[in-house]
A = this chain, B = another copy of it.
Amino acid sequence: MKIDKNQLGDINQKEITEHNERFDFLGCTLSKKGKDVNAIIKKLQDFQVAIPSWALGAGGTRFGRFGFQGEPSNLELKIDDVGLIHSLTQTAGAISLHIPWDVPTDYNAIKDIANSHGILFDAVNSNTFQDQKNVKESYKFGSLSNTSKAAREQAVAHNIEVIKIGDKLGSKSLTVWLADGSNFPGQTNFQSALQNTEDSLKDIYKTLPENWKMFIEYKPYEPNFYSTVIQDWGTSFMLANACGNKAYTLVDLGHHLPNTNIEQIVSTLMLKGKLGGFHFNDSKYGDDDLTVGSVKPYALFLIFNALVYGMENNPQNPYPAWMIDASHNIKDPLEDLIQSLEAIQEAHAKALLVDQKLLTEAQLNHDVVKCQEILQDAYRTDVRPLLEKARLNSGGALSPINTYRSLKVRENLIKERGANSVASGL
């Protein structure tokens, strides 16, 4: 199924008058405050978030999985799904592949499909946290950090293979998420594990094409429950420095201990020019992988405030790779992703409204009350008209979720793919 521009236009038309009223009123208010509304909308239009190929089917927990109907059973269909989201939101202009779940058989065909949807290939993701069929070495006790040289070499070779696949598709970066660690005190030697990891990463790094980047993800726990080799940003940052200029830290919102101040980590990494990638999701307890903005929208705003600041003030930091990394256990995955994209752009828009000049002034005056007022003034603004306008400008839907439903997208997918179609992957 593909969404037709005309269909979208017709549906948008029904709400356009109300949208215009909302937008005019807000735009006027913001202009009076000195905001360049068009510049803000332009930034919203330019902001594109990659959808990971594994996010298009229902997820699960260790206690089981409740399936969803009409899931995409191969890479082509997954790209189609991202295309559907993108045509509605105009914010999902990229897909992030997971190898070996998504190895293309015909590269040109895959690229053509993506092209037809206006979808790029973002970072490629390796998988050394599971044993694939017919592999020689098991990752049960680690991959890049394994005490076994053979296991490490297999994991390095896999990452190099992933780079090659990504290169053929036009990807420009590799994301390494390492589940390596231990479940019990004493199980591993922390220093050997770290040293092995550094050596393995360097081996992968050496094969990186010239204009590529390597993103090193960190996570404090899960699936290992005593220690994780790359447990925090400090470890990732240290490893990225050891690898070289093209290695960066990747921040995933769910990969932090309780109460971590993530926006401060973002600021530090951007100051040092080492924030390479960013994974969006939300959570209350651990790495819950919930819809972005569904639990802590103010924290998301504060993080965007740090990101927007960094993008404007830290030329030493490259433009980061954005991706949603959530799990859709009980919602329609496409609706869930649309809600995530909306929450991301909302936080983004509000961060763009922060009056940085006034804020700096208040900070210098130690006027704490005023600092808070400035952030809250931006956050309390209802920015939905700006998001609508940005989508409208780019040819998307005024109301993506409503449009998705009125177009009966899921029903059509089930008709096309069958009720029991299951997404390939985990």
Q: Which residues of A contact B (CB under 8 A)?
A: 22, 25, 29, 59-64, 66, 129-131, 138, 140-141, 147, 179, 182-192, 194-195, 220-223, 225-227, 231-235, 237-238, 257-261, 263-264, 267-268, 270-272, 283-286, 288, 290-291, 294-299, 302, 305-306, 309, 313-314, 327, 329-332, 335-336, 339, 346, 359-360, 362-364, 366, 368-369, 371-375, 379-382, 384, 401, 426
Give complex CA distance A302, B233 in Å: 23
Copies in the complex: 4
Known: A185-B263, A185-B305. 12 other contacts (CB 8 A): A59-B62, A63-B426, A66-B131, A185-B302, A186-B374, A186-B375, A191-B268, A192-B363, A234-B234, A261-B284, A285-B286, A380-B382
Q: Is there contact, CB below 8 Å, between B384 and A130?
A: no
Q: Which residues of B contact A227 (CB under 8 A)?
A: 261, 264
A231 CA to B263 CA, complexed, in Å? 12
Q: In the complex, which of the residues B63, B140, B191, B306 contacts A330, with contact meaning CB atoms closer than 8 Å?
A: B140
Q: Please indicate the chain B residues that have their CB under 8 angstroms from the CB of A368 in the complex.
A: 182-184, 187, 330-331
CB-CB under 8 A from A306, the residues of chain B are 190
Q: How far is the CA of A238 from the CA of B195 in the complex (A)?
A: 19
> A297 contacts B295, CB within 8 Å?
no
Alpha-carbon distance between A238 and B265 when the two chains are bound, in angstroms: 13
CB of A225 within 8 A of CB of B335, answer no
Question: Known: A234-B234, A260-B257. Contact between A190 and B268, CB under 8 A?
Answer: yes
User: How far apart are the CA atoms of A257 and B259 in the complex, in Å?
Assistant: 7
**What are 17 residue pairs bridging A and B, where the CB atoms are less than 8 Å apart in the complex?**
A25-B25, A63-B223, A64-B131, A140-B366, A184-B291, A190-B268, A191-B268, A191-B271, A220-B260, A222-B286, A223-B329, A225-B288, A231-B261, A296-B296, A331-B368, A331-B369, A339-B372
